[in-house]
Structure 1
């Protein structure tokens, strides 16, 4: 197990920031994804939103590893 202090910090980030940002991004993703069929320029935006939606997974993995902010 990695550094316990960083694990606690990542848990706080996950709860107070990660879930909220991912939730907002998921809502936007759901609204925008149907329009990418007609407007292909939105594909880059939806790809970015999908990465933002996966931010809680990154926080959880960093928490388990006790990884720092490097």
Structure 2
């Protein structure tokens, strides 16, 4: 692992802890509330798909941290 990768891993760790957990938690609350309504209002499916991807943002951050990936 190169030094640049270590620095990116540390940055991704900070993003994971201070940003993604909070955003994912808020999005999860909205996702749980809105999801049952998609049965009746099919137009909400796009919104719930987006919220699900936001809920999965910590996984993306963790994978980028392990890989030492930059912000490309």
Scaled by the length of structure 1, the TM-score of the pair is 0.97
Other-structure match for 1:58: 60
Partner Cα separation in structure 1 for residue 56 and residue 50 of structure 2 = 10
Equivalent residues, number: 70
Residue aligning to 1:31: 33
Greater mean deviation of Cα atoms: 57-66 or 1-10: 1-10
- List structure 1 segments (4+ residues) > 4 angstroms apart after TM superposition: none
Structure 1 residue 55: deviation in Å? 0.2
Distance of 1:54 and 1:34 partners within structure 2: 19
Output the aligned Cα RMSD: 0.8
For structure 1, which runs of at least 5 residues remain unmatched after alignment? none
**What is the CA distance between 1:10 and its match in structure 2?**
0.1
Instruction: Name the TM-score, length of structure 2 as normaliser.
Output: 0.95
Displacement after TM superposition at 1:68 (Å)? 0.2
Q: Superposition pairs for residues 1-70 of structure 1, below 5 Å?
A: 1=1, 3-70=5-72
Aligned with 1:68: secondary structure? coil
